[in-house]
Structure 1
Amino acid sequence: MLKRLATVSLAALAAVTLASQSNAETRITYKSAKAASSYYQMGVEIAEALKTGTNGDMIVTLEESQGSVQNVMEVRARGGDYVFTAPPALASAAAAEKGPFEGKGSPKFADIRALFPIPSLTMHFVLTKDSGVNDFAGLEGKTLLLGKGSFGATEGENYLQLFGLKDKVTEANVELSNAVPAMKNGQIDGFVTAGSWPAPNVVEAAASTGVTILSLSDDQIAQTKRTKTVIPAGTYAGQDKDITTTSLPVVAFATTAMDDDTAYTLTKTFWDQKATMSETSPWWKGVDKDLMGTITGKIHPGALRYYQEAGFDLTYAQK
């Protein structure tokens, strides 16, 4: 009888131990971008950083996405384990039922809260050295690859319009993935791309053909109504000066359905691991305290606790 009780007690203890281990593990679903994109790779790096930084207590599952609008839309059917990336302006548009969310509103959109910034979509106007182009005025008469359907293509076309170059530049009918070969064979004078810096296709172009990356003046930046961004000298081969350009901020979001402790741990671990991530992927070097100003909506209460403990300067609107 005593042996049987001991066996039962051991079994009960094992069950409790397993339950405790299971409860200690937090699972997060992270949805960002297409699998072939740099933003999906960032998701991979965040997942690894969170696992390492929490000793395996936080496990992140990545999901491929077709874009930020889809990420925001899925808030309607997701729970407290959902983390997604989007520009802050898009999250605000969802709450206001404007733009792509017109007629598709949901009370859950008002529950979206920011966690932390990730590398911004940064505009690059990349020209061959042989083109002799050093500023936007020099683009007149040149052949430029804008690509199709991407943020960079839409933004690039808008800039040409704003700067009076729309009908003075020939737009190449070439896929953006073929930009570097097209530059090498003289098919184009340059290309426009948007992504985190250093952008892989710009790194390749700078190393293989020699390029000039255009800077925007303060007046031009004001015309675009985008965020001013400085790419430090030395980011790309042959770049001996800072590049002043524009960017679209991107932020990792959750909703108020996520409990405060999870949001706190997730946010704290991200910032604790950022320096390590920067050693292997330089695009994380562009994420610092200054990017917190690009968060235009409210920050999740759990993340807010971390930022207040760490001494971050936050606006009233973010709290």
Structure 2
Amino acid sequence: MKLYKALISTALGIAVTQLSFAQTQITYKSAKTSSSYYQMAVEISQAVKTDTNSDIIVTVEESQGSVQNVMESAFRGANYVFTTPPALVSLAQNGKAMFKGKSNPKFDEIRALFPIPSLTMHFVVSAKSGINSFGEMEGKNILLGKGSFGANEGAKYIKMFGLEGKIDIAKVELSNAVSALKNGQIDGFVTAGSFPAPNVIEAAAGTGVKVLSLSDEQIVQSKRTKLTIPAGTYAGQDTEITTTSLPVVAYTSTAMDDDTAYAITKAYWNQKKLMSDTSPWWNGVSTEMLSNIKGKIHPGAAKYYQEIGVTLSPEHQ
């Protein structure tokens, strides 16, 4: 009997060991925990777990930013996934800007998996301000915030479109933008994030607002990617909003095996509808956004796209 129990115990131990080896562990380097992009990462983690029946487990790691994510790709293992704008990957591979003097041959091994919601510029003004176009912000009190992509981009546009020194820049934190807009302390604010943006939803629900559109000429001048926010995204928004965006993509490297890259990519797209039901920002993502990816797509991910009939460009292969 003791021998029988010992054999059963050994068999169970082997089975558990084999099961643990069968499970793939992925590290997903995202953003600060306070960011919507961290929440997206958590949602993707759950989506992959659900779609693969827990064969792949994704652990989300906080990050201080996209530059850190790219830098870590040079020394992280095969199952490292991270998010960053495609432009930063190009800069890293060419040793330019913030990557000058920090080149690493491992950067050439970075490969894309799938797009996630873009950083979308929102120029939000109160209805009572009377502002209907970018130029009409002249003489108005506008909140930019500081240090964020949206603040830097907003300041760039103000200068680029001839409004530098003609707008009163509010000395208010972006976290207070909605309340400042409601009480008339400011005429508008600039913010960037996936759409629908929570602070814009709050502003639109609590008071009359307008999200400004940019002209095609202004978008070309900005050198950013054109993005259309559908009508009805925000309360009182009856028409489309044309604005700019900074694409964001989930990447890995050639060290990841094709089967894992395929499974993660398939899980992401399979579960996107379910994620959209909970978080509307997923509605803005489609396979058309693969055109925003500059550089190669991982062969495992490319296999999935080919299976669903998506034509990839030569640059992606």
* TM-score after normalising by structure 2: 0.98
User: Helix, strand or coil: the match of 1:203?
Assistant: helix
Question: What residue number does 2:217 align with?
Answer: 219
- C-alpha displacement of 1:8: 4.9
- Give the deviation of 1:315 after TM superposition: 0.4
1:130 is matched by which residue type in structure 2? K
Partner of 1:128: 126
Letter in 2 for 1:148: K
Map of 1:105 onto structure 2? 103
Q: d(CA) in 2 for partners of 1:314 and 1:221?
A: 25
- Aligned partner of 1:194 in structure 2 is 192
Match of 1:270 among 262, 268, 273: 268
Deviation, 1:137, is 1.4
Residue pairs, 1:283-294, within 5 angstroms: 283-294=281-292
Cα deviation, residue 246, structure 1? 0.6
Q: C-alpha separation between the residues in 2 aligned to 1:90 and 1:102?
A: 12
Shift of 1:5: 5.7
Alignment correspondent of 1:147: 145
1:318 is matched with 316
For 1:243, which of 216, 221, 241 is the aligned residue? 241
Write out per-residue CA displacement over residues 31-89 of structure 1, whole angstroms, 9 at most, x where no aligned residue: 11110111011011111111111111111111111110011111122001111100001
Deviation string, structure 1 residues 129-182 (Cα, Å, up to 9, x no partner): 000000011111001111101111111111111111111111111111010111
Q: In 2, distance between residues paired with 1:149 and 1:69?
A: 15
Q: Offset at 1:107?
A: 1.4
Q: Using the alignment, how far apart are the partners of 2:113 and 2:17 within structure 1?
A: 29
CA deviations over 1:14-45 (Å, ceiling 9, x no partner): 23311221122111111111101110110111
**Equivalent residue, structure 1, for 2:79:** 81
Counterparts of 1:13 and 1:306, CA distance in 2: 37
Classify the secondary structure of the residue corresponding to 2:189. strand
Q: Percent identity?
A: 63
Task: Report the secondary structure of 1:268's partner residue.
Answer: helix
After superposing the two structures, state which structure 1 stretch, 300-309 or 115-124, moved more.
Answer: 300-309
Find the counterpart in structure 1 of residue 170 from structure 2.
172
| Rounded Cα–Cα distance in structure 2 between residues aligned with 1:104 and 1:26 | 31
Runs of 5+ in structure 1 lacking a partner? none
Q: Secondary structure at the match of 1:125?
A: strand
Partner of 1:255: 253
| Distance in 2 of aligned mates of 1:184 and 1:311 | 48
Unpaired segments of 5 or more residues in structure 2? none
**Deviations 1:243-287 (Å, cap 9, x if unpaired)?**
000100000000111111111100000000001100110000000
Q: Which residue type is aligned with residue 199 of structure 2?
A: N
Distance, in Å, in 2 between the alignment partners of 1:74 and 1:210 is 44
1:77 aligns to what SS in structure 2?
coil
Alignment of 1:19-168 (within 5 A): 19-168=17-166
Work out the CA distance in 2 between the residues paired with 1:118 and 1:183: 30
SS in 2 for 1:311: coil
- Letter of the 1:167 counterpart: G
**Cα deviation digits, residues 174-212 of structure 1 (max 9, x gap):** 111010111112111000001000000000000011101
One-letter identity of the residue aligned with 1:96: N
Match of residue 309 from structure 1: 307
Aligned residues: 317
Q: TM-score, normalised by structure 1?
A: 0.97
- For residue 17 of structure 1, what is the aligned residue in structure 2? 15
Cα shift readout 1:190-237 (whole Å, capped 9, x = no counterpart): 000010000000000000111010001111111001111000000000
